[in-house]
Structure formats: structure tokens, C-alpha cells
Amino acid sequence: KILQDKIAAGEVVERPSSVVKELVENAIDADASDVTVYIEESGMKSIRIIDDGHGIRKEDAPLVFERHATSKIENDYDLFQVRQLGFRGEALASIGSVSHATIESFNRESSPFKLTYHGGEQIELTDGKERVGTDILIENLFYNTPARLKYVRHLKTEAGKIIDVISRVAIAHPNVAFKLELDGSTRVQTKGNGNLKEVIADIYGLNIAKAAIPFEHETQDFNITGFIVKPEISRSNKNYIHVSINQRHIKNFGISQAIINGYHSLLPKDKYPIAFLNIDMDPKLVDVNVHPTKLEVRISKDRALFVLIEEAVKATLRGTPL
């Protein structure tokens, strides 16, 4: 079982930033409204995430680090309905198998507990603090997978990747207050008041927020909302194109390309737009089960969506109706 988890770990949690992403998504899935992330040494020393979500019942504690045991999926039908970010029950099992993990949690309907796990084995289960929510600490990541450890030690960009993960999740969830501290200094902070424009300002600064034009288009199948930034401010890569579907941050080449095409004649060939779009649609039409990290999605009726986005971006930039 531990070997299996370690193999899965290579897929789901290949580096510290992917651990952070999984843990933050768990906090969101638990309906947290406040998520604080403390990182030391780019996550190689420690990753700690404190949320005020619904917590875990003590009865469920032995299952938390078990593979698939705790998946939120109840049956096959649900697979197409998932609005939650996690649904494979794989992340904590993987993370727990390649680190020293401590989780302290309290769910109102149960009693608080604290669980320690080392390299896939339960070390201790004791009583915890009566604070609703979850506090998870991951230390010595990859200590028992030497090849992986060697590989991640050479990563230079991990702190930047972690900032990126938190920024993207914060943009997809304006109603959640996020704070990220890297080695004691605050790098991301949002208020969680539901105002996307303020989140954009908090993360990218006032200039970009001021140049953001509201975007809103609704058809029978899709309701797209957010902001697109005036072409006067652009970037030399596609990393500033934010797309989420039903508040789940995703990557989809066609959607990014549709946004870029909408800006077509307004940006030089080597420049890319800054955009923040959420697409609300029937979850049955989205297949998020393509890759373990759940970033890539397949969408039914995607052609129609691409055309809609491109035309809507053009119309919004022109200031004319579609």
C-alpha cells in the first residue's frame, strides 16, 4: 500500500507547489472562508495550511491518509456532477506517504483530534484543539524518495510557483480570504469580500485592476463573467490568462486561444492579454477527470464556447454589444 501511494505521489504531488495546491483545494472544498498558508524554504522545510472550514470528524481521522477511502465521490454518476475540487481521495494519501504530516482538525459534530503520519504510517492519534477547521503541516517532503528529493532541490522557481498557485486560487475564489507567507514575509493577501476587482488589485496591483473591463455574457449553455484588461497593458506570456469553470481553475488551450484571438488586432504578435474569466456551466458538460492534477478539462460544445468567447472579447474591447 505504501509503495502504491509513493508511486501515485509522483503523479499527484510532484513538487512542493503541487502539494500546496492540493491542500488549498481541500480547504476550499471544506467551505473555508479564511485560508492561511505558511511556507518555509520553498516548501522543502515545511508547508502549513490553516483553514476555518468544516473540519474532519474524529471518526474519519484513520481514513484521511487512506487512498480513495475518503473520496467525496459517492457513485459514478457523481463523477460528472462534481463541483468540488477534489474527488479522487488521492492527494493526502500521496502526500502522507512521502513526508512527515501532522493534521489537527475539529468538526462541530465530533471532537477535535491531532494525527501524525510519517511516510505513510500512522504514528499517533491524540486529542486536538477545539478550533473549528483544519491545520495541516507537511514537513520533510520527499525525505524517503531520494530521486524526487534530488530533483526538487534543484528547482529554482518553486517560491514563484507557490505564489502563482495561491494567486490563481484566490482569483477563482474572491469570497475566500487568503494569506500566503514565505519564510515569514507576506506575499499574497486577499480580503475575501467577494469583489474580484479587489482581488485583482491585491494580487496584480492597482494599475491592472483599473484597466480591467467587466465582462459578462450569457447564453443558454454558458454564463461567462469576469474582467478583461485593456490591451494597453499586456504581458509577454500566457500566464496572466485566468480561466475557471464553475470556480475551478482550469487550463484549456482552446479557451486561452479564443481570448487571445479576441484581442487579435489590438496586441502585437509577441504580447498576450491579461484576463480573468469564470464560466458557469452544467457540470455534466465538463469532464475534469482527464489528468490526476485535474487542470486539463474536456468540454462538450467547446467549439460554440470558443466562438462565443472570441466574439464577446472583441465586443467588450470595442464597447459594443455582441
β partners of residue 243: 277
Residue from 5, 51, 104, 202 touching ligand ADP (CB under 6 A): that is: 51
56 binding ligand ADP? (CB under 6 A): yes
The footprint of ligand ADP on residues 62-101 (CB under 6 A) is 64, 70-72, 86-93
Residues near Mg ion, by CB under 5 A: 26, 86, 91
Least distance in angstroms from the C-beta of 161 to Mg ion: 18
Assess 129 for contact with ligand ADP (CB under 6 A): no
C-beta closer to Mg ion: residue 49 or 152: 49
CA separation for the pair 86, 210 (Å, rounded): 34
Residue number with CB closer to Mg ion (93 or 228): 93
- DSSP lists the bridge partners of residue 100 as 118, 139
Q: Which is nearer to Mg ion, 102 or 316 (CB)?
A: 102
Asked whether 40 and 139 are in contact (CB, 8 A), the reply is no
Closest residue to ligand ADP, based on beta-carbon distance: 86
Q: Report DSSP letters for 101-124, one per residue.
A: EEEEEE-TTS--EEEEEETTEEEE
Say which entry of ligand ADP, Mg ion, none residue 64 contacts (CB below 5 to 8 A, set by partner kind): ligand ADP
Tell me which of Mg ion, ligand ADP, none is bound by residue 55, counting a contact when its beta carbon lies within the kind-specific cut-off of 5 to 8 angstroms: ligand ADP
Q: Residue 253: phi, psi to the nearest 5?
A: -55, -45
Going by their DSSP bridges, the two strands 177-182 and 34-40 should be labelled as parallel
Q: How far is the CB of 22 from Mg ion (least distance, A)?
A: 5
Helices (H), ranges, the chain: 2-12, 16-29, 76-79, 91-97, 146-153, 158-172, 196-204, 206-210, 253-263, 302-318
Residue whose C-alpha cell reads 528529493 in the numeric block: 149
Q: Provide the minimum distance between the beta carbon of 308 and ligand ADP in the complex, in angstroms, as a whole number.
A: 31
Residues interacting with ligand ADP, by CB under 6 A? 22, 26-27, 29-30, 51, 53, 55-56, 64, 70-72, 86-93, 134
